[in-house]
């Protein structure tokens, strides 16, 4: 039996008959059951623990192992007031988004088996409660339990979002990997003499440039002068960051230090920030970012 603080509230009415095979429904017994007494026939509200193995058969409509909010809501919205999730016996029913967020532990917009496993895990519930009591936010990443301050939460969300979109960090932002796949770095000058520098790729008869000031620029090939820079330090950086998981603090510490050596200050800052998501006491990363850890928050060293 898993943690019982998420309960399914059931009132057994005729319309709920299709749910009887999934949810345990209490029905009155005794002389009045066949209609001799209207009060006796009223089916009571039953609080029943929701089991882990019920989730995917109920909500995974396309059987792909992940439940989106659209799938969840499609089922949940049919239940009406007669059957709702709540956080405990006698507690009010949860709206669809509240119930979905209960299971979506890492807030990535879909619920997988790991989400459900930890949502109904007593140890995780205790960890989350203790983490919130410290003023921190509990996050689940793969098998790691993280207690994050607001700065870490922001950095974590950006990295997880970029991962989902297949993006890489460059120039203080994130860009689709496809813009780096050509392995070209160049200085582009347009007809007005304006110069931009960054990663160059070609698609659809256009040149695309991810610039060092975090812009995505597009040019007609015949309207610009292109000077490629095959020895640009950023080429080494992008090759390394493409193969470095954001959740490996030691690999990112090494990459951040290499960025410093290459003179890539903005990229170094982004990578050291990665380190502090998973290793907030890392002295080298804190020093590189001119931060110190005080009461589990990052503050400038000179404060």
Q: Which helix (H) or strand (E) holds 185?
A: strand 184-190
Buried b (16+ CB within 10 A) or exposed e, 109-134: ebbbeebbebbbbeebbebbeebeee
Dist CA 192 CA 143 (whole Å): 53
> Distance of alpha carbon 1 from its chain centroid, rounded?
28
pLDDT band at 3 (very low <50, low <70, confident <90, very high): very low
Q: Which helix (H) or strand (E) holds 219?
A: strand 216-219
Tokens for 127, please give them. Answer: 């960890």
Question: Of 242, 267, 103, 85, which Cα lies nearest the Cα of 177?
Answer: 242
Dist CA 177 CA 271 (whole Å): 17
Q: Tens of pLDDT along 104-131?
A: 877 788 998 878 887 778 888 789 889 9
CB 93, CB 100: distance < 8 Å: no
Torsion of CA 11, 16, 19, 23, to 10 degrees: 10
Q: Which pTM was predicted?
A: 0.69
Dist CA 102 CA 85 (whole Å): 10
Q: Tens of pLDDT along 238-258?
A: 999 999 999 999 999 999 999
- Cα dist. 253→52, 250, 287 in Å? 38, 5, 12
Handedness of CA 73, 76, 79, 84 (dihedral sign): negative
Torsion of CA 287, 290, 293, 296, to 10 degrees: -120
CB atoms within 10 A of CB 271: 28
Dist CA 64 CA 113 (whole Å): 11
Tokens for 138, please give them. Answer: 């509990």
Tokens for 291, please give them. Answer: 């931060």
The helix/strand/coil state of 170 is strand
Quick one: pLDDT at residue 43?
53
pLDDT at 18 over 70: no
CB atoms within 10 A of CB 32: 14
pLDDT band at 4 (very low <50, low <70, confident <90, very high): very low
Quick one: pLDDT at residue 124?
83
Q: Which residues pair with 141 in a beta bridge?
A: 144
- Report all structural domains of the chain as residue ranges with CATH numbers, in order of start: 7-148 (1.10.238.10), 151-168+235-300 (1.25.40), 173-231 (2.30.30.100)
> Distance of alpha carbon 23 from its chain centroid, rounded?
30
**Strand 216-219 and strand 206-211: pairing?**
antiparallel
pLDDT at 5 over 50: no
């Amino acid at each position: 039996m898993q943690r019982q603080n998420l309960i399914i509230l059931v009132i057994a009415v005729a319309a709920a008959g299709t749910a009887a095979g999934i949810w345990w429904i209490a029905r009155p017994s005794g002389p009045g059951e066949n209609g001799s007494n209207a009060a006796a026939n009223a089916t009571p509200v039953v609080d029943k623990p929701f089991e882990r193995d019920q989730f995917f058969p109920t909500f995974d409509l396309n059987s792909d192992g992940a439940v989106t909010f659209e799938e969840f809501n499609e089922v949940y919205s049919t239940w009406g007031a007669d059957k709702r999730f709540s956080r405990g016996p006698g507690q009010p029913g949860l709206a669809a988004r509240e119930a979905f967020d209960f299971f979506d532990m890492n807030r990535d917009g879909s619920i997988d088996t790991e989400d459900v496993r930890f949502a109904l895990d007593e140890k995780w519930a205790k960890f989350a409660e203790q983490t919130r009591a410290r003023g921190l936010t509990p996050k689940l990443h793969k098998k790691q339990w993280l207690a994050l301050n607001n700065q870490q939460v922001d950095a974590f969300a950006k990295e997880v979002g970029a991962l989902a979109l297949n993006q890489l960090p460059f120039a203080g932002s994130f860009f689709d990997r496809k813009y780096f796949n050509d392995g070209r770095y160049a200085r582009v000058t347009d007809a007005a003499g304006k110069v931009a520098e960054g990663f160059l790729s070609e698609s659809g008869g256009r040149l695309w440039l991810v610039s060092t000031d975090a812009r995505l620029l597009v040019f007609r090939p015949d309207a610009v002068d292109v000077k490629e820079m095959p020895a640009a330090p950023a080429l080494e950086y992008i090759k390394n960051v493409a193969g470095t998981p954001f959740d490996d603090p030691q690999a990112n510490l090494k990459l951040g230090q290499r960025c410093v050596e290459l003179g890539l200050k903005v990229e170094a800052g982004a990578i050291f920030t990665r380190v502090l998501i998973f290793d907030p006491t890392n002295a080298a990363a804190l020093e590189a970012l001119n931060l110190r850890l005080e009461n589990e928050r990052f503050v400038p060293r000179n404060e």
